[in-house]
Structure 1
Amino acid sequence: MADRDRDDEGRARNARPRDGLGRPLPYDAAGVERQPEGVTRTPEQTVREAQRLLDEGKPFHAHEVFEDAWKSGPDAERELWRGLAQLAVGLTHAARGNPNGAVSLLRRGADNLAGFADSTPHGIDVAGLREWADTLAGCVPGHDTPPAPAAVAPRLRPENRFGG
């Protein structure tokens, strides 16, 4: 059996390059630069970076940004960041042509955001994101062609709803 890729601490890590949707490519292929793991960002930096990645059609990479916030942020916000990460993974599954995975993650993410639905933590449009997730979850199974992720990416903040 071949040795597994390992990071500096000896943890298993897949060093294969990945495409914009996080799918592994052959070792010699040119992939999309991966997000560094374990980065501690402010909520503002997290939202800004995740929105940039969503706008570029890289929801898998946005999920990694949200995951860092989920793991490093305060306990009171864990479900917020986890829910956002799940929405990004749901969009990833939709774009990969996996409607069952998309619906499951979009609904789970929206459920995890429910406790924040009456507020806008860090300016995040939680109610709008839950509506977006419900709409996407309802339409993905009926489409033969996966959506282009940048075309259906959510706006994390209301002021950004129309590309601003």
Structure 2
Amino acid sequence: MERIEPPPEDFDPGEVVRRGVGALLADGAALFNEAHYERAHEEFEKVWLSNEAGDADFFKGLIQAAICLHHFQRGNLEGARKLASGHRRYLAAYLPAHRGLDVAGFLASMRAFLAAVTGAPAAPPGLLRPHPPAPHRAGRPARRLRGGSRRMARLPRTPAGPSRTGHVPRRAAC
């Protein structure tokens, strides 16, 4: 299984102090919501490695969720399955909300999404994938960035087809 590790020379502990924990969390959440899971993981990991925040397990949980979905995104369902429960262990202590994020809603959406992943047979990526969850601010629903509406398009009736009364219109003679 591929491990996602930033090169040690890329880690700057001063960045967390300069930018602030809140800014890194917001940037990581935005990247996560846009399905850039590897980059989101890197933002969350900066805070976790710096020990600046007193809630390292919260960031570890977000890292685990991002890595899990990164594996799924790349078609590594086995890797996603192995990481499917790790984020819950870390984030459970921060229910229902923490740092402005709806942790309860996020865990529920991850659980629903991963139920499809862990129960699904290994398949090539891109075949009827469910939409991944998105962390969002407490009190606000997550924005759907991919996929669109679930409502099916209504097909138009053909002019030669029967109407609701059963009447079939005659075709004009040419």
Tell me the amino acid that sits aligned with residue 31 of structure 2: L
TM-superposed deviation, 1:51 = 2.3
Aligned to 1:61: 39
SS at match of 2:61: helix
Tell me the amino acid that sits aligned with residue 35 of structure 2: G
SS at match of 2:26: helix
TM-superposed deviation, 1:153 = 4.3
* Alignment pair present for 1:86 and 2:64: yes
SS at match of 1:112: helix
Q: Distance in 1 between the 2:111 and 2:81 partners?
A: 9
CA contact (8 A) 1:83 1:112 kept: yes
CA contact (8 A) 2:21 2:47 kept: yes
Q: Distance in 1 between the 2:7 and 2:143 partners?
A: 38
SS at match of 1:122: coil
Unmatched 5+ stretches in structure 1: 1-11, 16-35
Compared CA separation, residues 139 and 160, structure 1 to 2 (3 A): same
Q: Distance in 2 between the 1:62 and 1:133 partners?
A: 16
Question: What is the total number of aligned residue pairs between the two structures?
Answer: 131
Q: Distance in 1 between the 2:39 and 2:73 partners?
A: 13
TM-superposed deviation, 1:58 = 1.1
Aligned to 1:37: 11
Question: How does the TM-score come out when normalised to structure 1?
Answer: 0.66
TM-superposed deviation, 1:43 = 2.9
Compared CA separation, residues 156 and 106, structure 1 to 2 (3 A): farther
Q: Distance in 2 between the 1:72 and 1:86 partners?
A: 17
Q: Distance in 2 between the 1:106 and 1:125 partners?
A: 19
SS at match of 2:55: helix
SS at match of 1:121: coil
Q: Distance in 2 between the 1:114 and 1:125 partners?
A: 12
Tell me the amino acid that sits aligned with residue 86 of structure 1: Q
Unmatched 5+ stretches in structure 2: 1-5, 146-174
Aligned to 1:31: none
Aligned to 2:109: 132
CA contact (8 A) 1:57 1:153 kept: no
Aligned to 1:152: 132
Tell me the amino acid that sits aligned with residue 125 of structure 1: D
Sequence identity (%): 24
Q: Distance in 2 between the 1:154 and 1:117 partners?
A: 16
TM-superposed deviation, 1:66 = 0.5
TM-superposed deviation, 1:71 = 1.6
SS at match of 1:152: coil
Aligned to 1:123: 100
TM-superposed deviation, 1:78 = 0.7
